[in-house]
Structure 1
Amino acid sequence: MSQAVEKYFVPEPSKFPIFGSFALLCIGGGAVMWLNKVGPGQLVFFLGLATLIYMLFGWFGQVIKESESGQYGKNVDASFRWSMGWFIFSEVMFFAAFFGVLFYVRVIAVPSLSSGDNEALLWQGFQSAWPTAGPNAVESFSPMGAWGIPAINTLILLTSGATLTWAHWGLMKGNRGQLISGLAITVILGAIFMCFQVYEYMHAYSEMNLKLTTGIYGSTFFMLTGFHGMHVTIGAIMLLVMMFRAMKGHFTKEHHFAFEAAAWYWHFVDVVWLFLFVVVYWL
Structure 2
Amino acid sequence: MTLSHGMHPYHLVDMSPWPLTGSISAMMLTTGLVKWFHQFNMDLLILGLLTTVLTMIQWWRDVTREATYQGLHTKIVETGMRWGMILFIVSEVLFFFLIFLGFFSQKIVSSGATVTWAHHAIMEGNHSQSLQSLLITVILGLYFTALQAFEYVEAPFTIADSVFGATFFVATGFHGLHVIVGTSFLMVCLFRLYKCHFSSEHHFGFEAAAWYWHFVDVVWLFLYIFIYWWGG
CA distance in 2, matches of 1:161, 1:186: 8
TM-score, L = length of structure 1: 0.73
Contact 1:213–1:219, Cα closer than 8 Å, also in 2: yes
State how far apart, in whole Å, the 2-side matches of 1:27 and 1:194 are.
Answer: 19
CA contact (8 A) 2:9 2:77 kept: no
Out of 179, 182, 195, the residue aligned to residue 133 of structure 2 is 182
Q: TM-score, normalised by structure 2?
A: 0.88
Residue in 2 that maps onto 1:108: none
State the match for 1:44 in structure 2. Answer: 44
User: Which of 26, 29, 32 is the equivalent residue of 1:24?
Assistant: 26
Alignment of 1:192 with 2:139, yes or no, is no
Separation in 1 of the partners of 2:195 and 2:26? 31
Match of 1:211 in 2: 158
Q: State the one-letter code of the partner of 2:46.
A: F
Of residues 10-19 and 265-274 in structure 1, the stretch that sits farther from structure 2 once superposed is 10-19
1:253 is aligned to 2:200: yes
- Between Structure 1 and Structure 2, the one with more helix by share is 2
Structure 1: state its 5+ residue gaps.
103-150
Q: Which has the higher contact order (CA 8 A, sep 6+)?
A: 2
Answer yes or no: is 1:83 the counterpart of 2:78: no
| Cα deviation 1:127-156 (Å, max 9, x = unaligned) | xxxxxxxxxxxxxxxxxxxxxxxx5xx122
| Percent identity of paired positions between Structure 1 and Structure 2 | 43
Q: Deviations over 1:72-104 (max 9, x none)?
A: 2012101211111111111111111110101xx
CA distance in 1, matches of 2:165, 2:37: 19
Partner of residue 58, structure 2: 58
Uncovered stretches (5+) of structure 2, i.e. residues with no partner: 1-6
* Per-residue deviation, residues 49-91 of structure 1 (Å, max 9, x unmatched): 3222222111110110010021220121012111111111111
1:62 alignment partner, SS class: helix
- In structure 2, what is the Cα distance between the partners aligned to 1:23 and 1:197? 24
If you compute each CA radius of gyration, which structure gives the higher value, 1 or 2? 1
- Matched position secondary structure for 1:23: helix
How far is 1:276 from its partner? 1.0
What's the C-alpha RMSD, in Å, of the aligned pairs? Answer: 1.9
| Alpha carbons 1:6, 1:73 under 8 Å: kept | no
Deviation at 1:48, TM superposition (A): 2.8
User: Partner amino acid for 2:116?
Assistant: T
